[in-house]
Amino acid sequence: MKIAVGNDHRGYELKLAVTAALTDDGHEVEDYGCHGPESADYPDFARAVGLAVAAGDADLGVLACGSGIGVSIAANKVPGVRAALCCSLEAAATTRRHNDSNVICFSGDHTAADDAVAMARAWIASAFEGGRHARRVDKITAIEQSLARHDQG
């Protein structure tokens, strides 16, 4: 599976740990930055990962910033992205099964590397269940599409 990863300076170390584990698991990981601990603006990297996922250049995306909230908000601005901030294994698996999330977000300040790796693996291993959940995801997509048409004119 091809996975796009991105982060700001506060998510840098967490991204390195998750990237190493996913690469060891046999996934192709593309790093959209940032590439060091120097201060960096999370919207730039959330946008890049979101665009890669939405365009199909990556199957899934992983993002990290200090709180995880900023990258989640920014990534969700990209049409076609369903980014979820996760703090537990159950949340990570559930967001794939129920929300068909395609980007997972982590807090670099509050998530241990081992926990992020375990959540990323659980998320990747889970599959969208469809059924009643598909109806709800379809409604999210309809909102997104109607607002895009509204913006165009």
Q: Helix (H, G, I), strand (E, B), or coil: what is residue 150?
A: helix
- Whether 35 sits among the annotated catalytic residues: the reply is no
Residue of 34, 65, 86, 105 marked catalytic: 65
- Whether 65 sits among the annotated catalytic residues: the reply is yes
Say if CB 19 and CB 120 are below 8 A apart: no
Residue of 9, 27, 87, 98 marked catalytic: 98
- Which of 45, 23, 11, 9 has the alpha carbon at shortest distance from 121? 23
115: which residues sit within 8 A by CB, 6+ positions away? none
Q: Which residue has the tokens 């584990």?
A: 21
Catalytic residues: 65, 98
